[in-house]
């Protein structure tokens, strides 16, 4: 397969655009905004071009994923490391979501960020470029490089442009907490990756490689106890980022203190990298160990579903409420991953896209409300339905989407996950379905406290004049999410067709047959003939 130059371009465009934003900051404050917007629009256009070029059909009997496009260059040849990028239906959907939410993140920060605009967009676009690199890299050293690189810009976004914080918790505290959590989980994940590389060196009598296909064959040939240990290392690395209870402590503080664009990045994109990692690495590398660990993982996921919903119910800060809803929804991700059926994987794909759009839109609306009321405290709101013309409609729409109203993308994703998981885990699936009632509860509470009732008298003195309704720019950003959610809800087959081949391969690879003697011998034979480019 010839190198497809679109793949490195998808990563380089945000990096170059971000660097240009930083360079022209002193020339004109508005110039970095336009450069950032053009860079993300160009990235999205490249994604659409890749979509139109791709061949995403599944090859029956394939033991390796079928990538539609690849790009490979030697990098550190002595260690078997190459710049190896590849795209299939799963990664294409995630890159497209990243580019689209990148456009929204730049757009929503247009009026909010007034200091160091160029450096802000440098960090925002470099974090987006790092995320795209995570979705495209199939050399595990390169994957880990992008995994770590995307975190540093997020730290600066929170620490430099975050909100002042409440109850003694500053934005620097939230940023540091986020950084420590993610660095520790990255170190644990690195142990698992290096363990596979060492075993590859042992099995091949001296071959060192970080290549995806090579390490997959290595993972299928190592003793079960080591496979379980390496699987656990990778799982913990991804579980912190997802986040899975009880490794979620960084998320509420990070969301509460982050600027609007940072929250869009965190909720809409960053936590999706963890779900992607579980699908791309944990399940195909360690199918048997994953099957053994499935019950434990799902129990933690379901605890997170109810814990997140209960904590959301108790919040008075609008952004913290939405942060806990993300924790609650990610329990469905764990259920879908370990259910192991094509239906649950397809539902997970739709859910990741829909949750990315709905949560990003709600965090954008948090920023819009804060600009007008100068507070995110739900106790100081009320009566907004009578003070705005457009804002109440959008807020009710996106809350309805988040809680899974039929006709929108979130409902399709949750429905497919529950249908796909029921055959293997009927009890867990019923418990997860019950949790949807709690989602409706915190959604109704959010709507009631913000839109209905009477405006808070103590707060009204801060805005004696009529409140300014949503601008054309703000409505345009929200309409992108509206169209995306309606399309996902009414025409999900558009996206299911693209991801179908990858999900079929993942479901087949999850069948725990890799301990059979025949398969082990076949994999060992293939391993001896692997040539690292």
Q: What is the pLDDT of residue 463?
A: 59
The Cα–Cα gap between 222 and 229 comes to 11
The residue segments making up the domain with residue 68 are: 6-528
The Cα–Cα gap between 240 and 313 comes to 23
Q: What is the pLDDT of residue 480?
A: 93
Judge if pTM exceeds 0.85.
yes
pLDDT in tens, 265-313: 888 888 889 999 999 999 999 998 999 899 999 999 899 888 888 888 8
Residue 1 lies in a domain: no
Residue 170 lies in a domain: yes
Count how many domains the chain has: 1
For residue 30, which phi and psi values (nearest 5 degrees)?
Answer: -85, -20
Under a CB-based contact definition with an 8 Å cutoff, are residues 140 and 210 in contact?
yes
Q: Is the dihedral angle over the CA atoms 126, 132, 134, 137 positive or is it negative? A: negative
Residue 533 lies in a domain: no
The Cα–Cα gap between 152 and 164 comes to 20
The Cα–Cα gap between 523 and 298 comes to 30
Going by DSSP bridges, is the β-strand pair 81-87/69-76 parallel, antiparallel, or unpaired?
antiparallel
Under a CB-based contact definition with an 8 Å cutoff, are residues 402 and 359 in contact?
yes
CA-angle at 238, arms to 59 and 289, nearest 5°: 60
The Cα–Cα gap between 238 and 334 comes to 11
The Cα–Cα gap between 160 and 155 comes to 8
Q: Which residues of the chain carry a pLDDT beneath 50? A: 60-61, 168, 512-533
Instruction: Quickly tell me which residue has 């370990």 as its tokens.
Output: 338
């Amino acid at each position: 397969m010839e190198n497809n130059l679109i793949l490195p371009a998808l990563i380089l465009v945000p990096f170059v655009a971000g660097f240009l934003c930083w360079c022209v900051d002193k020339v004109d404050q508005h110039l970095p905004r336009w450069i950032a917007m053009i860079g993300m629009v160009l990235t999205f256009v490249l994604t659409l071009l890749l979509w139109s070029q791709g061949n995403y059909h599944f090859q029956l009997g394939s033991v390796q994923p079928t990538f539609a496009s690849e790009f490979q260059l030697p990098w550190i040849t002595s260690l078997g490391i190459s710049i190896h990028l590849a795209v299939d239906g799963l990664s294409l959907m995630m890159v497209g979501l990243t580019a689209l939410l990148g456009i929204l993140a730049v757009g929503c920060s247009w009026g909010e960020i007034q200091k160091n605009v160029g450096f802000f967009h440098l960090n925002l676009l470099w974090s987006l470029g790092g995320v795209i690199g995570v979705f495209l890299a199939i050399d595990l050293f390169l994957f880990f490089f992008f995994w770590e690189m995307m975190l540093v810009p997020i730290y600066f976004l929170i620490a430099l442009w975050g909100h002042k914080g409440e109850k003694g918790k500053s934005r620097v505290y939230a940023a540091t907490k986020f950084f420590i959590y993610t660095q520790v989980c990255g170190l644990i994940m690195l142990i698992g990756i290096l363990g596979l590389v060492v075993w590859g060196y042992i099995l091949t009598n001296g071959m060192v490689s970080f290549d995806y296909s090579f390490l997959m064959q290595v993972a299928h040939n190592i003793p079960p106890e080591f496979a379980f240990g390496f699987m656990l290392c990778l799982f913990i690395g991804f579980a912190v980022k997802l986040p899975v209870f009880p490794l979620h402590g960084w998320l509420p503080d990070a969301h509460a203190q982050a600027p609007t664009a940072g929250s869009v990045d965190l909720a809409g994109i960053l936590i999706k990298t963890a779900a992607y990692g579980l699908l791309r690495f944990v399940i195909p590398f360690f199918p048997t160990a994953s099957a053994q660990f499935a019950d434990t993982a799902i129990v933690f996921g379901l605890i997170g579903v109810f814990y997140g919903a209960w904590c959301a119910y108790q919040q008075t800060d609008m952004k913290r409420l939405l942060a806990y809803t993300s924790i609650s929804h990610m329990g469905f991700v764990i259920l879908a991953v370990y259910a192991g059926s094509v239906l649950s994987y397809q539902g997970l794909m739709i859910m990741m896209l829909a949750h990315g759009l709905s949560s990003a839109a709600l965090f954008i609306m948090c920023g819009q409300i804060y600009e007008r009321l100068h507070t995110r405290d739900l106790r100081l709101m009320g009566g907004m339905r009578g003070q705005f013309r457009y804002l109440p409609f959008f807020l009710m729409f996106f809350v309805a989407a988040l809680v899974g109203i039929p006709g929108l993308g979130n409902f399709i994703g949750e429905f497919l996950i529950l249908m796909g998981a029921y055959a293997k885990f009927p009890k867990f699936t019923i418990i997860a379905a019950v949790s949807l009632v709690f989602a409706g509860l915190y959604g109704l509470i959010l709507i009631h406290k913000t839109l209905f009732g009477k405006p808070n008298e103590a707060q009204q003195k801060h805005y004696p004049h009529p409140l300014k309704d949503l601008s054309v720019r703000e409505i345009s950003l929200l309409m992108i999410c509206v169209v995306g959610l309606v399309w996902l809800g009414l025409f999900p087959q558009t996206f299911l067709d693209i991801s179908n081949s990858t999900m079929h391969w993942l479901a087949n690879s999850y069948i725990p047959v890799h301990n059979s003697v025949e398969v082990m011998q076949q994999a060992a034979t293939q391993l001896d003939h692997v040539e690292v480019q």
